[in-house]
Structure 1
Amino acid sequence: MAGSPILATRRAVLAGAALLPAFLPGALRAAEGALIRRPIPSSGEPLPAIGIGTSRRYEVEPVPEKIAPLREAVERFVALGGTVIDTAPSYGTAEDVLGQILQGGLREKVFLASKVSETGREAGAAQIARSFERLRTDRIDLIAVHNLIDPASNLATVRDLKAKGRVRYVGVTVWRDGQFAELEPLMKREALDFIQVNYAIDNRAAAERVLPLAAERGMAVMVNVPFGRDRLFKAVQGRELPPWAAEFDCASWPQFFLKYVLANPAVTCPIPGMAKVAYVEDNLGAARGRLPDAAARAKMEAFIDAL
């Protein structure tokens, strides 16, 4: 991933943070104190409000030298109070890599989420069985139907596993606005613990109906691509963080984007990709201190929309 344009763009943005005003203490360092926690509505279980997504960045060859920096990132994440890690069998080697990382005591400290993306009961059940093997665990906290693939069959399979105590929560995922037309009626007719949806400061469609519906139906919300993949980092590259970001304890552009997402009360946990200790420390800073109020959110939207 060293040559990834997304990582290169983020590095450029973070390098530019050296220009941050002196009144923003702790820029690019993890602040002290507990992380903001949001409850899972169906159970009341609190979750730290920032998690790790493993798509792409954890799809490395599962050998010690490739896994080592990822292990360091996960260990730092847990040490700072993070728990939620999201993966999927369709993310290449990510489940295998994560399974190795979580050995030796980390598994018990992590809220582990994966997905099912096969069609038909038999194929879906077989894929989930492989996930248990690859993740080296006998219990997965959340299994979600990936991209709404065969929800009737796959939800039935996951609910069977939940009844047996092997899965704790059931959900569904989407990653683009075009899937909302199918997602919304599913949310209305099914009892789901979680949904996972795309939402970012430059892609706010989920806030119109999907997030309010999740709140109404008592569903926790994971947010994928909260940085808009590389769109947001490209948009702010070379720009200083506006001074008014200090009003909601924001010390970097990644925190700016994440605090915007977290300021929506329907959101439980954004899951940005974090493959380096520095990214873990910076991103978790978004789940500490104040969040932007409605007026600040409108100001943030206007700022980004004008770029």
Structure 2
Amino acid sequence: MEINRRDLLKAVSTSSVAAAGVVVAGGLLKPLLAQTTATPSSTKQGEMLYRTLGRTNEKVSLIGLGGHHIGRPKEEQEGIKLIQSAIDRGINFMDNCWDYHNGGSEIRMGKALQNGYREKVFLMSKIDGRTKKAAAQQIDESLKRLQTDRIDLMQHHEIIRMEDPDRIFAVGGAQEAMLEAQKAGKIRYIGFTGHKDPVVHLRMLEIAAQNNFRFDAVQMPLNVMDAHFRSFEKQVLPVLLKDGIGVLGMKALGANSILQSKTVTPIECLHYAMNLPVSTVITGFEKMDILAQALEAARTFKPLSQEQVAALRQRTAQAAAKGEYEKFKTSSQFDGTAQNPEWLG
């Protein structure tokens, strides 16, 4: 039986979102736009801007290095050079995942972080396991590949199904492994990621609250088209801000598909995401010129006016209406755990 999104939205508890300044009407969550348009203050060091990660005191670069892309160059040394060049230019937020390129991205990053580079970065990775056993194994494998005794932020990856939160917080679920790893000093902070539907993110937050747990960070798509279709910016962002949870933006270019709409430029896409109250905008670069583009976006960023934001949204409204350029929301082609269910445990 097909589940109606309106019914799902009604099923999500609205106590926390109402407190966050979200108007609940007819079962639909309608955040006050003012909640999502205030650009946080940044500090500048060299050519990079830095923001605070949620309620932590961690300072992270406005640009985050996307872990999947550094595993794409054919030559391992090229990926390592990209990582070290990014760090040398001020990017200190390192994104990665246990499953990227079957561990290849973590292996490259582990090699790149030798010779003093590890101490310069805030290191994040993700695991897919939904059971305690699978999650614990993946955490240890990530530590080994990354050649470190601690990962600053570990995240439950691909929370894209309504049952994922229940599995993770069940007795014998992945959250038990996360908490034990945190207690042992293997990880410092805990978060989750997802790219499918804001309803699933809200359910994850609600199930966590029922278990007396508050995440340190949440990763989600935030881009110039998101506001028009299954919007994380409108539905999830206000809740995170209210609870002091660090906001990690991803897919600012929609895995480059937004550029195919020919409505916005890469720099406009990055500036729109940076203008939101995010801690960092994670973006991928497998070539030096793409890294240079991301650095240029950070160097030239200035808070956008309401008129500039409105103009970008208006320009992309028609193309964004049905999610055509956000395939991660509307198809399974970006769902690694759907294609490899054994990763879930």
Aligning the two structures, in what range does the TM-score lie when normalised by the shorter sequence? 0.7 to 0.9
Do residues 130 (structure 1) and 150 (structure 2) align? Answer: no
Aligned partners of 1:273, 1:306: CA distance in 2, in Å? 26
Using structure 1 for the length normalisation, give the TM-score.
0.77
CA-CA distance at 1:138 after TM superposition: 0.7
Do residues 209 (structure 1) and 222 (structure 2) align? Answer: no
Do residues 36 (structure 1) and 49 (structure 2) align? Answer: yes
1:232 maps to 258
- SS of the aligned residue for 2:268 comes to helix
Gaps of 5+ in 1: 1-30, 242-252
Aligned partners of 1:111, 1:151: CA distance in 2, in Å? 25
2:168 maps to 151
Aligned partners of 2:151, 2:124: CA distance in 1, in Å? 6
Picking from 157, 165, 168, the partner of 2:188 is 168
Do residues 96 (structure 1) and 107 (structure 2) align? Answer: yes
Using structure 2 for the length normalisation, give the TM-score.
0.69
Picking from 32, 46, 52, the partner of 2:59 is 46
CA-CA distance at 1:56 after TM superposition: 5.0
Do residues 77 (structure 1) and 86 (structure 2) align? Answer: yes
Q: Name the count of aligned residue pairs.
A: 258
Gaps of 5+ in 2: 1-43, 320-345
Aligned alpha-carbon RMSD (Å)? 2.2
1:264 maps to 276
2:312 maps to 300
Alignment CA distance shift 1:104-1:291 (3 Å):
same
Matched ranges for 1:283-298 at <5 A: 283-288=294-299, 289-298=301-310
Aligned partners of 2:82, 2:303: CA distance in 1, in Å? 25
Alignment CA distance shift 1:95-1:109 (3 Å):
same
Picking from 85, 95, 108, the partner of 2:119 is 108
CA-CA distance at 1:207 after TM superposition: 1.1
1:142 maps to 153
1:200 maps to 223
Q: What does the per-residue CA deviation read over 1:158-207, in whole Å, with 9 as the maximum and x for residues that have no partner?
A: 22222232211110111112633533424644311000111211122011
Aligned partners of 1:187, 1:227: CA distance in 2, in Å? 30
Counterpart residue type for residue 185 of structure 1: E
Identity of matched residues, %: 24
- SS of the aligned residue for 1:222 comes to strand
Counterpart residue type for residue 140 of structure 2: A
- SS of the aligned residue for 1:112 comes to strand
Alignment CA distance shift 1:186-1:174 (3 Å):
farther
Aligned partners of 2:249, 2:107: CA distance in 1, in Å? 23
Deviation larger for 148-157 or 278-287: 148-157
Q: What does the per-residue CA deviation read over 1:55-85, in whole Å, with 9 as the maximum and x for residues that have no partner?
A: 2551566xxxx12222222122111111111
Aligned partners of 1:147, 1:294: CA distance in 2, in Å? 32
